[in-house]
Amino acid sequence: MSSKPSEDQLLIRKIRDGIVIDHIPASKALTVLRLLKITGKEGLRVALVMNVESRKIGVKDIIKIEGRELSRDELSIIALVAPTATINIIRDYRVVSKFKVEVPDSIEGALRCLNTRCITNKPNEPIRTKFVTISRNPLIIKCHYCGTYYTEEDIEKML
Ligand code: CTP
Ligand code: ZN
């Protein structure tokens, strides 16, 4: 037999140019899209598979985004909700770059602070949120403005 069987190819074809976010913990794909603020309204072609077999992590989700490259900084925040994720940059059908996501030292703009009295929640003072990473494992981040600490389970509420 020639090429190795690949479970996701049964569901979604290879893409020509874009990003494949692989090894996402099962059922977390929609959370990853929310984190990246991809709603579908941008007109990007997005493919999503949930709960497919993975040799590395048991069961996984995969997202393929065609026609758009995100910067390494934009992609690194995926580690907040999908620490096992692998990013593949695809150009002309080939994987030209592959790396694991890692929580950055600070996270700007992507998350809301849950403290209603935080300056970032004042309606008339639009301030870009900023959280500083205190610990990666376990995940602990801290609002740069009000000092509130957040853990992994808070992240979905902050999207
Ligand atoms: N992929 C794709 N389109 C391409 C090339 C790759 O959608 N033109 C997808 C593959 O289906 C796979 C991921 O990108 O989900 C990574 O591709 P590749 O590195 O070829 O696969 P593996 O070696 O299985 O990856 P890993 O070692 O990271 O598990
Ligand atoms: Zn705050």
Distance from residue 83's CA to the centre of ligand 2 (Å): 24
Q: Is 32 helix (H, G, I), strand (E, B) or coil?
A: helix
The yes-or-no verdict on residue 18 having pLDDT over 90 is yes
Band (pLDDT 50/70/90 cuts) for residue 2 is very low
Q: Mean pLDDT for the chain?
A: 92
Q: How far apart are CA 48 and CA 137, in angstroms?
A: 28
Q: How far apart are CA 88 and CA 137, in angstroms?
A: 24
Starting at the edge strand that comes first in sequence, how are the strands of the sheet with 86-91 ordered? Answer: 45-54, 58-66, 18-25, 86-91, 94-100
Q: Which residues surround ligand 2, an ion (CB under 5 A)?
A: 113, 115, 118, 143, 145-146
Query: In angstroms, what is the span from residue 86 Cα to ligand 1's centroid?
Result: 10
